[in-house]
Chains A and B, each alone.
Chain A
Amino acid sequence: MKGILRIAYKLLVNDKGKFAALLVGITFAVFLMVMMTSMFAGILHRSSSTVINIGAKIWVMDPAVNTPASSIPMPDYVLDAVRSINGVKYAVPLYSGGAQVKLRSGVYQAVTVLGLDDASLFGRPALLEGNIENIYAENGFIVVKDTEFPKLENPRLGTEFELNDHRGVVVGIAQVTTGGLFGIPTLYTTYNRAIQYIPNPRFTDSYILVEPKSSDAVPYIKQQVKALGYEALTKDEFIQKISNFYKYKTGVGTNVLLMTIISFIVGLSISGQTFYTFILENLDKFGALKAIGAKGRVLIYMILFQATFTALTGYGLGVGLASFIIAMAKLRLPSYAAKITFMNLGFAFVMVIIIAGISSYIGVRKVLKIEPFDIFRG
């Protein structure tokens, strides 16, 4: 079989024009599919940045919350009630809100302020510069050094700014795992300072972060929180909820899905048609092979091999091109939200296999129908 596949390989790649057209079709389709799904994965990943960066195992929130930024403050008694649930090791409040800071240049810049529990500083970021204890110092804020950092005019330790007519001082520069989605810099401070500096509604607990005593306690905690009229989600569940919101309630998911389907159809059309033309042009040769003594299954192997080889080569090129473009884009735009995941690659791979399958099915049907007698008849 190796020899006949080598013949199939030579028939394919020696027809340089057709082979190039096939590769372009599949590469283009894979490139578009990987780009679209990677951008979507990047958006989803960044939309959960607060959840990832804070790292709490359980988040308690109002059931209507869809994203970390759209928190609905809860009354203080919820914190007390959560703390009293069996299985809760500890529970702390988290403030999450938006504000405008006035920079030294006089420019206003929107920021996200995260207020950490004063006692535990649970969810604090890793510091690149400064000391975490300085967060307790007068007007102390920690700035996250992510892709939005330059928007705060690249502050250093001691840099001052105004926040709602309050003085703020940078006492630490931190790094986080994931940058945010909306291009807004993030400041960390204590919970009490956050609610003091930023005008707030009646309630101020955006989230309650819970550390369970064990993972076995999680279902019970969720049940008890639900009984209070609130929702307790594990970190992964919250990320999934955010993801579902963007997928199904914003139109982003639909658009990405549509673009991915269009990419698939474009790839299928180009490669399917080109492969069909390739088969048509070689139909008499396949007929001659049949006449010489090739069995139907040998011809099927040849066509499947040609389609699979083209698909895999195009897949590799498409993934490589998408990776290159994303890497280049990230060099130029550090906040560019695109992330190639194994799921994206797997999805594109499945789509490419479907393209190869459909293309080869058309070819196989045609080749199996050709009668060697037609070769004699001319």
Chain B
Amino acid sequence: MADLAVKATELVKWFGEGDAKTFAVRGVSFDAFFGEMLYIEGPSGSGKTTLLSVISGILRPNSGRVLVEDTDIWNLTSDQIADFRLNKVGFVFQDYHLFPRLTTVENVAIPLIMKKLDWNESINMAMDYLDIVGIKDRANLPPVKLSGGEQQRVAIARAIASRPDILIFDEPTASLDGDTGRRIVDFVKRNILTEKRCIIMVTHDSRIFEYADRIMKMEDGRIIGVEKGGLREE
């Protein structure tokens, strides 16, 4: 059994008060392990994104615990949580959220710069990460000049730049065509996932289910089942 990366216990999150109170996550517990690619799948409004936000230190739950490498992240101060996100978690947003006014390599260097590394050192390291995702030749272009797939790769390079233990992907294939989406996830599975890294991905794109190690199905704020995924060998 691989080491435990994330242990979520009885997580509850609601929005609003009184009559407007809406439960997004209802007593969810699960474990995620290093070396694992865990999908969270479910229809819109099932609470996947809320759950993802809670376990990645973005959204405070109303109750429950999130242990990451034995640290209860919601017992940390806001500054400590920010540091936790910077050092332990890498985010790949659905819309990438790349800075259009910066070059591709500068976008990738942002987490390194935030970690107070020297500018040139950050840029050099960012180049290495662009090399890993295969778009080093696009380093000095602004992201808007890149295709959707390339922008996704830039977002991945930025997410792994701070060498996080946990990678969070939010609907990574939502803005991509089927082939590109599959290629990206295949690339992630083969090159980004390591034994010391856990990838948690929210998706309802069934075309990439085959790359998951486990698929956690959510509905109405609850986990209704966990399925085993499987890597397609080509």
User: Which A positions have Cβ atoms within 8 angstroms of B?
Assistant: 1-4, 6-7, 10-11, 14-15, 282, 284-285, 287-296, 298, 371-373, 375-378
Contact A7 B102 (CB under 8 A): yes
Q: Assuming A2-B119, A11-B99, is B49 touching A377 (CB within 8 A)?
A: yes
Would you mind naming 11 contact pairs between A and B with Cβ atoms under 8 Å apart? A10-B102, A288-B97, A291-B91, A292-B91, A293-B83, A293-B86, A294-B114, A295-B79, A371-B58, A375-B97, A376-B58
Cα distance, A377 to B52, chains bound together (Å): 11
How far does the Cβ of A19 sit from chain B's closest Cβ, in whole Å? 10
How far does the Cβ of A223 sit from chain B's closest Cβ, in whole Å? 66
For B99, list chain A residues within 8 Å (CB): 7, 11, 282, 285
Contact A376 B49 (CB under 8 A): yes
Contact A375 B93 (CB under 8 A): yes
Q: Which residue of A lies closest to B83 (CB)?
A: A293
Contact B58 A372 (CB under 8 A): yes
Cα distance, A6 to B102, chains bound together (Å): 11
- Check: B82 CB closer than 8 A to any chain A CB: yes
- Check: B95 CB closer than 8 A to any chain A CB: yes
Q: Which residue of A lies closest to B96 (CB)?
A: A288
For B116, list chain A residues within 8 Å (CB): 1, 3
Cα distance, A232 to B110, chains bound together (Å): 69
Contact A6 B58 (CB under 8 A): no
Contact A376 B93 (CB under 8 A): yes
Contact A298 B102 (CB under 8 A): no
- Check: B146 CB closer than 8 A to any chain A CB: no
User: Which B positions have Cβ atoms within 8 angstroms of A?
Assistant: 49-50, 52-53, 58-59, 78-79, 82-87, 89, 91, 93-95, 97, 99, 101-102, 106, 110-111, 113-114, 116-119, 122, 158, 162, 170
Q: Which residue of B lies closest to A285 (CB)?
A: B99
Cα distance, A371 to B119, chains bound together (Å): 27
Return the contact of A373 from the options B53, B82, B87 (Cβ within 8 A): B53
For B82, list chain A residues within 8 Å (CB): 290, 293-295
Cα distance, A1 to B53, chains bound together (Å): 27
Residue of B85, B114, B170 ringed by the most chain A CB atoms within 10 A: B114
Q: Assuming A3-B113, A288-B93, A289-B110, is B53 touching A11 (CB within 8 A)?
A: no
How far does the Cβ of B125 sit from chain A's closest Cβ, in whole Å? 12
For A15, list chain B residues within 8 Å (CB): 101
A291-B58, A293-B82, A293-B83 are known; give 4 further A-B pairs, CB within 8 A.
A7-B106, A14-B101, A291-B93, A373-B53
Contact B86 A292 (CB under 8 A): yes
Contact A284 B170 (CB under 8 A): no
Cα distance, A378 to B106, chains bound together (Å): 23
Contact B110 A7 (CB under 8 A): yes
For B110, list chain A residues within 8 Å (CB): 7, 289, 292
For A284, list chain B residues within 8 Å (CB): 95, 97
Q: Which residue of A lies closest to B88 (CB)?
A: A293
How far does the Cβ of A100 sit from chain B's closest Cβ, in whole Å? 68
For A294, list chain B residues within 8 Å (CB): 82, 86, 114
Residue of A15, A288, A293, A294 ringed by the most chain B CB atoms within 10 A: A293
Q: Which residue of A lies closest to B118 (CB)?
A: A3
Cα distance, A318 to B180, chains bound together (Å): 51
For B78, list chain A residues within 8 Å (CB): 295-296
Return the contact of A376 from the options B53, B114, B119, B122 (Cβ within 8 A): B53
Q: Assuming A372-B58, A377-B49, is B101 touching A10 (CB within 8 A)?
A: yes
Cα distance, A376 to B50, chains bound together (Å): 8
For A4, list chain B residues within 8 Å (CB): 113-114
For B86, list chain A residues within 8 Å (CB): 292-294
Cα distance, A294 to B170, chains bound together (Å): 19
Q: Which residue of B lies closest to A288 (CB)?
A: B97
Return the contact of A298 from the options B49, B50, B114, B158 (Cβ within 8 A): B114
Q: Assuming A6-B119, A14-B101, A285-B97, is B113 touching A376 (CB within 8 A)?
A: no
Cα distance, A12 to B106, chains bound together (Å): 14
For A372, list chain B residues within 8 Å (CB): 53, 58-59
Contact B111 A292 (CB under 8 A): yes
Top 4 A-B pairs, shortest CB-CB distance: A293-B86, A288-B97, A14-B101, A3-B113
How far does the Cβ of B90 sit from chain A's closest Cβ, in whole Å? 8
Return the contact of B52 from the options A11, A14, A376 (Cβ within 8 A): A376
How far does the Cβ of B149 sit from chain A's closest Cβ, in whole Å? 20
Contact A373 B102 (CB under 8 A): no
Return the contact of B58 from the options A7, A289, A373 (Cβ within 8 A): A373
Q: Which residue of A lies closest to B52 (CB)?
A: A376
For B162, list chain A residues within 8 Å (CB): 293
Contact B111 A293 (CB under 8 A): yes
How far does the Cβ of A298 sit from chain B's closest Cβ, in whole Å? 7
Contact B85 A292 (CB under 8 A): yes
Cα distance, A377 to B53, chains bound together (Å): 10
Q: Assuming A7-B113, A298-B114, A373-B59, is B101 touching A293 (CB within 8 A)?
A: no
Contact A3 B117 (CB under 8 A): yes
Cα distance, A14 to B114, chains bound together (Å): 20
